[in-house]
Structure 1
Amino acid sequence: MKLVILESPYAGEVERNVAYARAALADCLRRGEAPIASHLLYTQPGVLDDDKPEERALGIEAGLQWGRVAEAAVFYDDLGWSRGMLAAKERHLAEGRPLEVRSLDGWERAAA
């Protein structure tokens, strides 16, 4: 299985964004990939509080550290590009990680 970092929006409409990220996880798995979605993992109750800047930064950095072993970063863009996704894109590019932009059938495109 190909190891990938999954990037999608989290903040804002959290409930919708979590549902979208879960659908993106399922899409990765169907493609034969082993995705990590740190924004779903580290924001669970009792782990980190995304509303606290220092905890948010810790979660982002922890997720990006997976880049050391990931073969690519995959961005799901049906809901648009968040600031976090744009920052992650720059980091992945700076570290030479391949990027892929994807969309999911059945999700309205934010930019449409």
Structure 2
Amino acid sequence: MVFQQDNDPEHTSRVVKNWLDKQCVKRSIWPPFSPDMSPIGHLWDELERRMKKHQPKNQKELRETLQAEWETIGQDVTNKLVESAPNRLYECIRMKGYSTRY
């Protein structure tokens, strides 16, 4: 198994690196300027787009709305995101880690 993390300072801090090293966790190299290559990042974007049509009035309503919208994201969406991973990675390599169309 290889652990993949972005370059967020919380993920790349010395404390995190030391812990991962002590646990013998292999990590992939993440280009410093790359867009999010993980399918879950794009799934969060999908949820955010779906939430724009709602105006929850409180935390309870927000939680319920988020959960309801999350449950409507179909397998077709997740399959598309996973299947697009090779193209996204190819684009990232082609752009040398800079922004891509994804």
Question: One fold, TM greater than 0.5?
Answer: no
TM normalised by structure 1 equals 0.29
Decide which structure has greater strand share: 1
TM normalised by structure 2 equals 0.31
